[in-house]
Amino acid sequence: MAKIIEGHLSAKGLRFAIVVARFNEFITSKLLSGAIDTLNRHDASQDDVTVAWVPGAFEIPLVAKKMAQSDKYDAVICLGAVIRGSTTHYDYVCNEVSKGVAAVGLSTGVPTIFGVVTTENIEQAIERAGTKVGNKGTDAAMSAIEMADLLRKI
């Protein structure tokens, strides 16, 4: 019989950092609300949730790394909304944010969750910020809880 290790969905006693981009705040504020609500509903203490606002998604990885390295948090949740415009800027922002967030987790060993919505248009972003397709902030918080609990068991 194999030994199974898995993260449970209790945030009790776990400490969370949330890095959220102010660009497209109409969307990112909804992602943030979803994340905080989910952490609270899974018994996270409000004193154990710290939110840092950054100008845009491109700035998320730097602040996420600083928070992950601080030894103050069991997981870092990264929230943003990158919506394609009329130039290739979208591609550069998305690439750097996704690579940067992944690198923070791997380099620090702190679960760093990619909760950045990357969409072709505003409608798709709205659908993923608490409407038709759910809330990506909620999804990111759930992943953070599971990963933080799993890592403290390994």
Ligand X SMILES: Nc1c(NC[C@H](O)[C@H](O)[C@H](O)CO)[nH]c(=O)[nH]c1=O
Pairing of strands 16-21, 75-83: parallel
Q: Which is nearer to ligand LTPLIIQW, 53 or 90 (CB)?
A: 90
CB of 124 to ligand LTPLIIQW, least distance (A): 13
> Residue 90's closest CA among 2, 23, 151, 25?
23
CB of 117 to ligand LTPLIIQW, least distance (A): 11
Tell me the site size for ligand LTPLIIQW, rule CB under 6 A. 8
Inter-CA distances, 35 with 2, 44, 64, Å: 34, 11, 16
Residue 42 is among the residues annotated as catalytic for this protein: no
89 is a site residue for ligand LTPLIIQW (CB under 6 A):
yes
Q: Which stretch binds ligand LTPLIIQW (CB under 6 A): 72-80, 88-96, 100-108, 139-147?
A: 88-96
Find out whether 138 and 35 touch, Cβ atoms under 8 Å: yes
Which entry of ligand X, ligand LTPLIIQW, none binds 86, CB below 5 to 8 A by partner kind? ligand LTPLIIQW
Inter-CA distances, 118 with 10, 101, 138, 146, Å: 28, 14, 16, 23
From the candidates 41, 89, 99, 152, which is the catalytic residue? 89
